[in-house]
Structure 1
Amino acid sequence: MRMFRNDYSEGAAPEILAALAATNDEQTVGYTEGDPHCERARELIRAACGRDDVDVEFCIGGTSANVIGVTGLLRDWEGAVCTKDAHINVHETGAVAACGRTVLPTDDADGFLTPEAAERVWRFQTSTGRHMTRPGCVYVSNTTELGGVWDKARFDAICDWADEKGLPVFLDGARLGSGLTSPAAGGLTLEHIAARCGAFYIGGTKNGMLFGEAMVIADPRLREAFPFLQKERGGLLAKGRLLGVQFEAAFEQPADGGEALYWRLARNANACAFRLREGLVRLGFSPYGEAPSNQQFFVMTPAQRDAFEAACGCETFYELGDGNVVARFVCSWATAEKDVDELLALAAELA
């Protein structure tokens, strides 16, 4: 059975591999500094964002992008406001803290950072002047850690709050493709994110590339700091053109005028995830929250989880107080309907 553990188990989409193979013998300058593929990818991404006044830089992976982006927006005495389950707070081994910066989690419980919870953190952290870490930026992710998808109204609400406080918004876009191609996006577009964020990145590792994220930077402080932080913190790839080639292939518009590969890959992952969700619900499994993305979460018994895990590698996210668990299933660019149907056949035996 095909694995549903994550969306980066496979290598890369055939079109990405073909682009890398076709350029394999080329000799270019390194470090993403002026090679034609990185420059073309930058042009394509700026066009997709509707802005020609932003820097586009390439990172090797999500943790590197988060560390460089978040710490580059902060001064020594500042911290990042985020949800308590945010990747920078839970899943990155204290990487932001290891760079001398502080994470300031809210009490939001569903993966979405709200203005109300952010305001409580702001008031507390600024209540004693110089004696506490001051909020210096806002961190959100799309999709959220629980597979949630930001819509335009919700996104604008937290951006408006951040603007009132003079804080730049940093968006972790490791699964941005899934978020923006979801029917739950509610008018949120790449152009709108680019208009409102100080910085964000477009995830490639989890959407059909071998590796890589594309950082879009508007904030002047991060624009100045990024090249130096990337080198200092071990995130600068000598063979940088490999990043450019992949994003070039992903964002080049097809000759027939259709949708760019990046969005087509994300739509496939979402479609398979929705098929899986509908099938599991039909069999009587209970979803854990709303997850209109390529990540799906379901409540089940430990025995059911063990059987799924052995067959398809699903991961346990939570252990609930009633003895049940929450398991996560993830679809990728490579998942096919037949893979979902095979998993649903097993689910029918376990229901």
Structure 2
Amino acid sequence: MRMFMNDYSEGACPQIMDALLATNGEQCVGYTEGDPHCKHARELIRAACGRDDVDVEFCIGGTSANVIGVTGLLEDWEGIICTPDGHINVHETGAVAACGRTVLPTDDADGFLSPEAAERVWQFQTSCGRHMTRPGAIYISNTTESGGVWDLARFDAICDWADEHGLKIFLDGARIASGLTSPAADGLTLEHIAARCSAFYLGGTKNGMLMGEAMVIADPKLKAAFPYVQKERGGLLAKGRLLGVQFETAFAQPADGGEALYWQLARSANNCALKLRDGMVELRFEPYRHSDSNQQFFTVSTSQQQAFEAACNCETFFTLPDGRRVIRFVTSWATQPSDVDELLSLAETLA
């Protein structure tokens, strides 16, 4: 059975592999500086964002992008507010803290940073003046760690709160393609995110590329700091054109005027995930939180967890107090409806 472990188990989608092979013999300037592919990719991304005043920079992966973006936005004495399960707080081995910046988690329990919880952190952190780390930014991710999709109203609410407090807004977009092509996006667009965020990135690693993320930067401080922080943190790729080739292929406008490859890949992954979700629910498996993205979580017994894990390498995230397990299925650009059918056939025997 095909793995449902994550959305980066495969290599790159055929179109991107073809582009890499076609340009393999070219000699280009290194470090994403001056090569035609990175230049073209930057132009395409600016056009997709509806802004020509942003910098577009290329990172090797999500943790690197988060570390460079967060540390470049903040002063030494500032911290960043996020949810308790935020990637920078849980899954990056303290990378942001190791660079001298403080992560300030809220008590949000659903993966979404809320104005109410952020306000509580703000009030506490500013209660003793210079004796405590002052918040300088907020961190959100689309999709969330539990597959939640930001819609326009929720996104604007937290951005409005941040603006009122003079805080910068950083969006982890490792799975932004899944979020924005989800039916739950409800009006949230790439152009709107670009208009409101200080910086965010477009994830490639988890959406059909070999590796790479494209950082979109509006904040003047991060624009100036990025080249130096990236080099200092070991995040600068010498063969930078490899990132440019992938992103120019993903964001190229099709001749027929249709959707760019970047969004096509995510939409396909989402469709398979929603087919999986609906099929599991029909078999009376219990979702762990509602998700309209390519990550689907379910609460299962230990025996069901072991059977699913052995068959398709799904990940077990944690054990609930009653002993049941929360497992995650993830679809990718390469997942086919027939793969989902096979998994559902197994699920039927375990229901």
Number of the residue aligned with 2:101: 101
TM-score by structure 2 length?
A: 1.00
C-alpha displacement of 1:317:
1.2
**1:245-324 to 2 correspondence within 5 Å?**
245-324=245-324
Q: Which runs of 4+ in 1 moved over 4 A?
A: none
Q: Deviations over 1:271-303 (max 9, x none)?
A: 000000011001110001111000000000011
Alignment of 1:33-112 (within 5 A): 33-112=33-112
1:195 alignment partner in structure 2: 195
The residue aligned with 2:25 is 25
Deviation at 1:33, TM superposition (A): 0.3
Q: Which amino acid aligns with 1:119?
A: E
Measure, in 1, the Cα distance between the counterparts of 2:2 and 2:46. Answer: 36
- Residue 229 of structure 2 corresponds to 229
Residue aligned with 1:70, SS: helix
Alignment map for 1:132-211 (pairs within 5 Å): 132-211=132-211
Where does residue 8 of structure 2 map in the other structure? 8
| Secondary structure class of the residue paired with 2:216 | strand
Q: How many residues align?
A: 351
Partner amino acid for 1:188? L
Provide the C-alpha distance between the structure 1 equivalents of 2:318 and 2:180, rounded to a whole number of angstroms.
Answer: 26
Match of 1:335 in 2: 335
TM-score (norm 1): 1.00
How many Å separate the matches in 2 of 1:158 and 1:348? 41
SS at match of 1:296: strand
Question: For 1:233-271, what per-residue CA distance to the aligned partner results, in whole angstroms no more than 9, with x for missing partners?
Answer: 000000000000000000000111110000000000000
**CA-CA distance at 1:54 after TM superposition:** 0.2
Letter in 2 for 1:227: P
CA distance in 2, matches of 1:90, 1:180: 24
For residues 223 and 161 of structure 2, the distance between their equivalents in structure 1, rounded to whole angstroms, comes to: 23
SS of the equivalent of 2:328 reads: strand
**Pairwise CA distance, 1:177:** 0.3
Distance in 2 between the 1:194 and 1:305 partners? Answer: 40
Unaligned runs of 5+ in 2: none
Which residue of 2 is the match for residue 116 of structure 1? Answer: 116
Q: Which ranges in structure 1 are unaligned for 5 or more consecutive residues?
A: none
Deviation of 1:338 after TM superposition, in Å, equals: 0.4
Task: Tell me the amino acid that sits aligned with residue 147 of structure 1.
Answer: G
1:24 counterpart SS class: coil
Deviations 1:91-117 (A, max 9, x none): 000000000100000000000000000
2: CA distance, partners of 1:91 / 1:75: 23
The match for 2:347 is 347
Q: Secondary structure at the residue paired with 1:277?
A: helix
Question: Which AA in structure 1 matches 2:38?
Answer: C
State the 1:318 CA deviation: 1.9
Deviations 1:129-187 (A, max 9, x none): 01100001100000000000000000000000000111110000000000000000010
Which deviations, in whole Å up to 9, do the C-alpha atoms of 1:17-70 show, x marking residues without a partner? 000000000001000001000000000000000000000000000000000001
Alignment RMSD, CA only?
A: 0.4
Report % sequence identity.
79
- Structure 1 residues 60-99: Cα deviation after superposition (integer angstroms, max 9, x where no partner): 0000000000111111110000000000000000000000
| Distance across 2 between alignment mates of 1:284 and 1:138 | 38
Q: Look up the SS of the partner of 1:139 in the other structure.
A: strand
Q: Distance in 2 between matches of 1:41 and 1:50?
A: 14
